[in-house]
A and B are shown apart, each in its own frame.
Chain A
Amino acid sequence: DQQVKQNSPSLSVQEGRISILNCDYTNSMFDYFLWYKKYPAEGPTFLISISSIKDKNEDGRFTVFLNKSAKHLSLHIVPSQPGDSAVYFCAARKNEKLTFGTGTRLTIIP
C-alpha cells in the first residue's frame, strides 16, 4: 500500500525551461509535504516543504503547489539548470514520520 506515489520515474527538460515534478498521496492525515533532492552516492538534501493548510510555497527557483482535494502536489523549478539534474523524492509527514515516494530522475539537457 504505497501512500506516496511518484508515477514518473524519469523526466528530461531543456536548460532554461520549467521542470514540473508530480506526486500523489492517499492519506489525508499527512500534515506536511516535502521535496528532497539526491545526487549519486550522497544522502538526500531538503529542498522545500509545504504545510497541509497552504496551497503554495515558493523559495527562489523552487515552488511547491498543493492540491488537497486531488491529493496531489507538484514541484516547479524555473528556470531549470544543469545542476538540477538529480533524483527528486517527495515525502509526506504524519506523527513525525516521513513517507517517501519512489523518486523521479530529472535530467536537464544543456
Chain B
Amino acid sequence: NAGVTQTPKFQVLKTGQSMTLQCAQDMNHNSMYWYRQDPGMGLRLIYYSASEGTTDKGEVPNGYNVSRLNKREFSLRLESAAPSQTSVYFCASSRAQLGNTEAFFGQGTRLTVV
C-alpha cells in the first residue's frame, strides 16, 4: 500500500527554471494538499484541492500553480524558480469527511534553487 507518493525526492534548479512536482495517492481520498516546510516556519499550505477539478489558494500560493488532474494526482508547478522557493515540499491527502481529520503525507521533495 503506497499511500502518498511524491516525485522527485530531490531536485536542484537554477533560478528561472521551471519544474513540476508530482503527487499521487491510492487511498481514494477527496482532498489533496501541497505544503512547504522551512526552518522555524512549520508547514505552510500552498494550495489545496477539495475534489477533482477544484483548487484553492493556501497561505503561500505566490509563484506556484497546481493541477488536480484526476482524483489520484495533484501536481505543483514552479514556472520560474527563485531561491526563496528552496524548501522541502510535502503533498498530503485526506478523506475529508465530517469527523475524519487525518491527513496522510508523502515523503517530501527537497528542492534547492541556486
Which chain A residues have a beta carbon within 8 Å of chain B's beta carbons? Answer: 4, 6, 9, 32, 34, 36, 41-46, 49, 51, 89, 91, 93, 96-103
Contact = CB atoms under 8 A, between A and B. Distances in A.
B74 interface: no
B58 interface: yes
B107 A43 contact: yes
Contact of B45 (A45, A98, A101): A98
B19 to A, nearest CB: 20
Chain A CB within 10 A, most for which of B33, B48, B96, B105 = B105
B4 A102 contact: no
B103 interface: yes
A21 B3 CA distance: 28
Given A96-B31, A97-B33, A98-B103, 18 more contacts: A4-B42, A34-B101, A36-B105, A41-B107, A42-B108, A43-B4, A43-B107, A43-B108, A44-B43, A44-B90, A45-B105, A46-B102, A46-B103, A97-B45, A97-B48, A98-B33, A100-B43, A102-B41
A71 B28 CA distance: 34
B40 interface: yes
B102 A89 contact: no
A44 B101 CA distance: 14
B106 A43 contact: yes
A44 B102 contact: no
Interface in B95-112: 96, 99, 101-108
Nearest to B106: A43
B42 A96 contact: no
